[in-house]
Structure 1
Amino acid sequence: MGSLVKKDEQAGMAISQDQQQYLTFMLGGEVFAIGILAIKEIIEYGNLTEVPMMPDYIRG
């Protein structure tokens, strides 16, 4: 997000001075990205624990 970008006028392409990697994921139909340097742990999706007396749209 803080990277500087120069425009190559002849090729019409953006060239980044420093490359960064991101983890992208979808949540609620929206795409999000987090810089990999900010990630501490990735936990695999497991089983949900049902919450009693909750509406169907609340998964756990």
Structure 2
Amino acid sequence: MKIEVDQDKCVGAGQCVFAAAEVFDQRDSDGVVELLEENPPEEQWDAVREAAMVCPAAAITVHER
């Protein structure tokens, strides 16, 4: 799995952090998503998929391998 985030689309809702805090964070200055792990371990995959699904701005793209 590989993850991409589009910071320009992000609205700072933070749903990704709630779903997968080990993979996503938010910038302190404006709340925009920060990707902590581009290629997360398999045990994080379900959480990452959920984060992408609940993102209100569709700013997270998950590439399955």
TM-score range, shorter chain: under 0.3
Structure showing greater radius of gyration is: 1
- Taking structure 2 as the reference length, the TM-score comes to 0.18
Q: TM-score, normalised by structure 1?
A: 0.19
Higher RCO by CA contacts (8 Å cutoff, separation 6 or greater): 2
